[in-house]
Amino acid sequence: MASQAIGNGVGGVSPITPRSSLLRKSSLGTSMVERKDEPDSSSSFSNSNSQEQFKGLRSGDLEKNARALSRDCSSLPKPLSIMDCSTSSDASDIRVAFQGSPGAFSEAAALKAYPYCVSVPCEHFEVALKAVEVWHVDKAVLPIENTLIGSIHRNYDLLLSHRLHIVGEVQLAVDLCLLALPGVQMEDIQRVFSHPLAFWQCESAISDFKAIKVSFEDTAGAAQLIAEKGMKDAGAIASARAGDLYGLNILQNKLQDEEINITRFLVLAREPILPKTDRPFKTSVVFTLEEGPGVLFKALAVFALRNIRLSKVESRPLRTNPLRLVDDLNHGTTMYFDYLFYIDFEASMAETRAQNALSHLQEFSKFLRVLGCYPIELLS
């Protein structure tokens, strides 16, 4: 049975007429066909403060002026709020949105992907993605999984609720440090501020602390709070760079439970990039399946049959219609969860085998969307 949606302007997948669809055009043609009842990212926003207030700092300036900024935190760019995404930017430089305050690990991922970009801090992940949609920035970085805590499920949901394209990936080594004001010792710390995900990554280390854990919006923001408030009884778990920016000392580094701690980020943009075959590419898709025995096996087999490696498989309950009732004459009615399946496979949409695999997958899918086709980050 034909699926509800598939990107057919990227890589030349043969168009298939959907049962009920909404077409959206891109510079490469029809980028995807989506079912009307899927989550919509559109929403209204009020007028905001002037655009100048939210300009990010250039990466070079952040390093050059780190010590000066630590003495005057007010000179750092303030994170965008949801009300600030009502105007577009005319800046010629690449502007990359990230969640958190300057010094966040997400900003480090943005600077790794685009070393000379203007990094724009945002209050929430939703704001970063919306900033791309309304042309306030060019791209956004979104953490999607970590080697210690696994997938970041909320951000998988955001991939579907915003009409953006994955155009790249960044794998960032994350070293967590305990930061405090100059002169503060370990025995002085009664509270430790950080993001909940950071606490999870160093559970073993912080279990030895007698201090109270206090959750905060982001790691760098926790460091900024301690610096601005002059909190001599508190510490923050954040990056070493955040310590430099806000004038804090490192009391302990490499707090994470395992020395190798990698977070994978996705780079999102308004338009997809052109798939190629001159280097390894990865394609990310999301789909739902028809009812029936063995349908998930059949869906995964379309890739195995064409020697396509799967690098990621993730499932999320379908939020719009999460439950499915199945009548059994012998045992009565049974209730099941309906799922969205997210898959990353290592092939370019410019390859015939990838196009054929997705065409085959449509036979078992009720909904199928190509989230992006992008180069695989290779170790240098």
Among positive and negative, which fits the CA dihedral 318, 322, 326, 332? positive
Q: What is the DSSP string of 267-289?
A: EEESSPPPP-SSS-EEEEEEEEE
Q: Of the residues 98, 216, 265, 281, which is catalytic?
A: 265
| The token pair that represents 169 in the structure block | 């990936």
CA gap 285, 346 in Å, rounded = 12
Residue type, 110: A
Say whether 265 is catalytic.
yes
Angle between helix 105-113 and helix 219-229 axes, rounded to 10 deg: 120
Q: Of the residues 219, 263, 283, 288, which is catalytic?
A: 263
C-alpha distances in angstroms, 94 versus 110, 195, 269, 317, 371?
Answer: 11, 28, 11, 35, 22
CA gap 375, 236 in Å, rounded = 35
Give the three-class secondary structure for 45. coil
List all residues 6 or more positions away from 241 whose beta carbon is below 8 Å from its beta carbon.
66, 103, 108
E strands in 22-74: 22-26, 29-34
Residues known to be catalytic: 263, 265
